[in-house]
Structures are given as C-alpha cells and as structure tokens.
Structure 1
C-alpha cells in the first residue's frame, strides 16, 4: 500500500507483487483453506489404506474397476499419485476451488472489507487479477498436496521402482516422478476454468456462502450433464469433459491431442468468465 500511496497520480499498474503476496498469505492462513488442504491430503491416505487392506492377502487391487492404474499401486507406490489425482479431480479438487473462488469477492463484500480495499489505491481490475491469481495458486498447491500425500503414502505402504507406463514402456523411477509432477501441473491448469466461473459468480452477490454454493452446485450439474449419453454433442464443450486427459502423460509417446483440447477449453472458459467477472466488477456497485 505504501508504494501505491507514494504515487497517487498517474495510471496504476495492473499488477502489484506486494498485494499478491498479501492476498496469497491471507488465503492460505484461513482455517477454511487449511481444512480443505487437509481433506485433499487425506484422500490419498484413505485410498492407499483401502488398497493395502484389500490386497493384504496377496490379491490384486481394483477388481477391474476404478482408474486404469489402480491395479498397479501394489506393484509401485508411485501409481498412488496417479490414482489419487484421478480420484480427486472430478469432485474434491474442483469443489475446493469453487469454495475459494466463490468467496473471493463476495466474501469481502459480505464482510464489509471490499469497500476499504477499493478505497485504497488498488483498483478494481488489479484487485480482481490478484484474487484470481490467489485462486490459481490454491489450484497448484491443492494438486501438489494430493500428489505429495500420495507419494509419501505410497512409499510407506508399497514398494517403489521403475514405472510401467500405460503403453507398456518401462521408465526409471526418476522419470516416473517427473511425469507425476507434470500431471499435477496439468491437473492445476485443468481447474482454471472453474476458478474463473467461481470468480464471476462471486461478483454477482454479497454473500460468500451463496457464491460458494452456486459454484459448487453448477460444478455438480455440469458433471452430471457430462455423463448423459443424449447430450454427447455438447459434452466436448463442457469444462470437465477432458479433465482426465492428464493420464495421457503416462504414455510413450505422450498423446497430446486430448491434453491440448483440455487446456484450450480451460483457457476459453477462463477468458470468457474472466471477462464477464471484469465487466461486472468494474461497472456495478458491489460495495453497497
């Protein structure tokens, strides 16, 4: 704030590293955020324990169901990372993002702090960008928390070693670890559309709870629509349709077609709903 106050005239920059650091710090200090991260970290632990119990007699995990790599966990604990990302992406991760994004603007408005943020020389556009960037930081941290928890749980419960990819190629543990990290990054990028939708909804109301509930409700509705066979023609345009394409990083060579469609679709949603959030936030009285 002191830097902005020192230059009270002239155009304001669209970015402020100090404001971003403050927003990210505040986001990750909230009890709600820590609780969401704890839930995300607990999912791989539950999956790992369940697989360990099921295969305690030497059986095979999965029984033909679940993610394509579920049956591989007992042979290599690194597959717990892939399984956990596949298990959390359709529901747990996007719901957590919906909570963070939905509360970003509406929570400030409902708490009476938004007007003070705008009285300070932050500017609406810059504040909106910072809120979105903080939400994206949570996307990345959430995906990494799932991956790290799964890696530690897999190392404790199962052996680690060379990784047999879905295409049958065997790679070193180090390369498998790099692919797991890349998958976590793709999962985080797969959530930028949800983050933008939540941010837009957050500008429509002064109630953080209403914004969070609407975002999560919309997420569940779209997920259901993506499973209805009669809606096959529109499903490729729904933001969760290509989410599980990150599994193509476990092929040699990598299949890029679905990955590119996924990231392109997320970018489209981010641009569309980000623009809608900007139009709403910069032209309407959201501080009353």
Structure 2
C-alpha cells in the first residue's frame, strides 16, 4: 500500500532568561541569512545552559544534514532534562532508519510520560512489520490523547487489511482534526473499491486540508476512471505545490492520452528533480519517436 505517515509535533520551550538576548540575536541573524554569526550566538546561549538554543541549532544542523552535530545537541538537551530533546532525537533517528536507537530512546522517554515517543515507537514497529508491538504503543499514545496516533492506528490496520478497524480509527482522527487522515481514509476506500467514498474523502484532503498526498491520490483516482480533465486539474495543483510526483504524474497522464510532446516536457522536468522513473519514461517516449 501507499504509506502516508505524517507526524505533527508542537514544541513549547521553558526559556532561561539569561540566554534570551543571545537567542534573539541569533534569530535576527538567521533572518538575514547569516548562519555563521547566528551559530556563534546560539553557542553562547548553549554555554549558558539554554535548552532552546540546543534545539534550535540542532534543527538547523539537521536541515543542513550535519547529522552528527545535531545529534550531539539533542543528546545535550536530554542531559538537561528536556522532553523536546527526546522528540527531536527520535525524529532524527527515525528519519535515518535507525530503529534500534528509536526503540532505546523512545522507551526511555515513555518512562518519563512522553506521549510522542509512544507514537513514534509504534510507527517504527510498523515499519519493521512488528504489528503486535506497533498496536501496543500506538494504543498507548491514543490512550494519552495523541490524535496523530489515531491516524497511525488506521494505517496499521489498513496494512493488516483490517479495514473495519482502519475505517473506525481514521474517522476518529478526522473528527479530532487530523489533516492526514482524510487522504488515508480515501485511499482505504480505493483499496476496498468504494470509489464514491474515496472521492469524497480525497476531495476533503485535497480541497479543504490541502494535503499533497490527498491531491495526488485524487488525481490518480480520476486518471484510473479516465476523467482526464479532473486528473490534470489536481496534478497541476500538486505541481503548484512543488511536487515532483505531480510532474511525473502529468507525464504519465499525457502519454496515456497520446500527448507525447507534453509527456516529454513533464518527464524532463521530473528528471531535473531526480524522479526515479523519469528517465525510463523519456526512453519509452524516445522509442515512440519523441
């Protein structure tokens, strides 16, 4: 199945007053695009014990793919008794596929009452197809009020083809305002050939929640139904949201309609953004004389 996992993490910080000036100065320099000077002021705040500065600078290092330095700062935040430090570290390890480290630090965070840790640990077990453990920790997160875990339980049950349970939890997630769940529920209805309901929830995801996965899944639903104008509408909406899948999808859609020049145009754009199938598409079009 197409896995559509989105984590929403809202962080709040308890700031130490003596580090605020350094952090504000660092943020001012970041706003000017001067990372080197910003880094200097974040480090000054860190030397005074500011957890916020550790997390902010760690996030910048993560974005720069300076993973080792980011990891050091998140671990330092944990040493300073920060739950947010655990959250950032878990996201870092999850993104790297380091599931043993996710397991280690998530369990430590759960002992501290960290709900996000239960959610991400459940998702790591789902990735490893350890479904019983995934269910255990996702239900733990749900019991503590994590609405994202409702969506993720729906994904777990969809993966297991327990569609009634998946539908139940995805609807609960939608009721709680989870914006990923409508797309996932729409995809479930595609899987179970309930296409009217699929369209309803994918349209909610695409038109109301503006979720890129919902936009793409709705486009592909219309393509499969040969509603080409609607498919094109939503693929172009995806492209406007900087989606490389939208570019490749337009190439596929154009080729299916024998609009080969358009197919070539979009395939070339997808190739420039390193879509893994774009080169094969261009070779197929070349074989057709384009």
Q: Compute the TM-score of the two structures, normalised by the length of structure 2.
A: 0.20
Q: Compute the TM-score of the two structures, normalised by the length of structure 1.
A: 0.20
Whose Rg is larger?
2
Structure number with the higher helix fraction is 2
